[in-house]
Amino acid sequence: MSQNGQTLRVVIADDHPVVMLGIRTLLREHGAMQVVGEASHGGELLALLKGESCDLLITDYSMPYEDGAGDGLPLMQRLRRDHPQLPIIVLTMTNNPALIRGMLAAGVNGLVGKMAMTKELLLAINAVMKGRTYVCEAMREHVASVEQDDQVVDPSILSRREAEVVRLYARGLSVTQISEQLHRSVKTISQQKNDAMRKLGTTSNTQLFEYARTHGLI
C-alpha cells in the first residue's frame, strides 16, 4: 500500500500505548508503510507535523488536553486548516451520531472504530489514499441523515456543537475552559449545555455525565 510505488509515510497519534503498538504492528505487517512520527496529545501532534512531512495521519479523537491545543473537533479543524491536503483517519471509541457527523464536517477523510481497527484500518487507508471517504461499518448508520446548519430534526438528538460541549464537560472541563478551547463565549457554552440537558431530559450534572458515558462521548 503505497503512493506511486513509494513507501507511505505515516504519523500516528494516540495517548494509549497499547493502541499505538497495535497501529504500528498493523502497518508493519502489511508493508510499504513507515511510521515517521508519533504523538500522545494535540500539542505534540501539531508540533510534530510542523517539522515532519508525511502522507497520512492516523489519530485518536479524544486525547489529553495539553499545550493549549485541545482535542476533539477543535483539533480536527486545526489540523485541516494547517494541513488542507493531508489525508486524516480518526480512530475513536465515539459512537455518538452528532460527533461522527461533526468529524466528517471538519474534513476528516476516514473514521474507524477502535474495536474494528484490525478489521477495517487497512481498508480505510486504501480508500483514503485513493481520494475516497471511508466510514467504518459500525458508524455508517449514523451518517445516513445529514444535519443542515447544525440543526437537527429530532429535538432529542444533540447538535454536534452541543455534543462537543457535553463531551468536554463530562471530561472535567469547566464552562470557562470549554469556552476557551472552543473559542465561544461563556454565555454561548452555558446555553448549549443547558439546551443539551433540556433535550435529554437530564436535571443534574451526574445524569449528564452518565449520558456522555453511555453514548460514546467520553
Structural domain spans, the chain = 8-143, 160-214
- What is the spatial distance between Cα 194 and Cα 78, in angstroms, rounded to a whole number? 27
Under CATH, domain 8-143 is a member of which superfamily? Response regulator (3.40.50.2300)
Residue appearing with cell numbers 506511486: 4
Mean pLDDT rounded to a whole number for the chain: 85
* CA dist., res. 97 & res. 120, Å (int): 19
Span 125-135, average pLDDT:
94
Query: What is the SS3 assignment for 170?
Result: helix
CA distances (Å), origin 42, targets 29, 93, 140, 159: 27, 17, 26, 24
Quick one: 110 exposed, middle or buried, by C-beta within 10 A (0-12, 13-18, 19+)?
buried
Q: Are 31 and 6 in contact (CB under 8 A)?
A: no
How many Cα neighbours within 13 Å face the side chain of 180? 10
DSSP assignment of 17-53 equals HHHHHHHHHHHHHT-SEEEEEEESSHHHHHHHHHH--
Give mean pLDDT, residues 17-33.
90
Q: What pLDDT is stored for residue 148 in this prediction?
A: 43
- What's the residue count for the chain? 218
- DSSP letter at 204 equals S
The answer to whether domain 8-143 and domain 160-214 are alike in fold is no
- Predicted confidence at residue 2, as pLDDT, reads 53
pLDDT value for 176: 93
Q: Which residues pair with 134 in a beta bridge?
A: 110
Look up residue 120 and give its DSSP letter.
H
Q: What is the CATH number of domain 160-214?
A: 1.10.10.10
Nearest 5 degrees, angle CA 52-CA 54-CA 56?
A: 140
pLDDT score, position 69: 61
For 41-45, 134-138, 198-202, which range has the lowest pLDDT when averaged over its residues? 198-202
pLDDT of residue 10: 97
For the segment 147-168, what is each residue's pLDDT rounded down to a tens digit? Answer: 444 444 344 478 888 988 998 8
| pLDDT at 32 (0 to 100) | 87
Taking the C-alpha atoms of residue 43 and residue 27, their distance in angstroms, rounded to an integer, is: 24
pLDDT, tens digit (0-9, with 9 covering 90-100), for 56-90: 999 998 887 665 566 788 889 899 999 999 999 99
The better pLDDT of the pair 66, 181 is held by: 181
pLDDT score, position 38: 96
Per-residue pLDDT at 156: 46
Residues 1, 8: contact at Cβ < 8 Å? yes
Confidence (pLDDT) at 122? 93
Report residue 133's pLDDT band, with 50, 70 and 90 as the boundaries.
very high
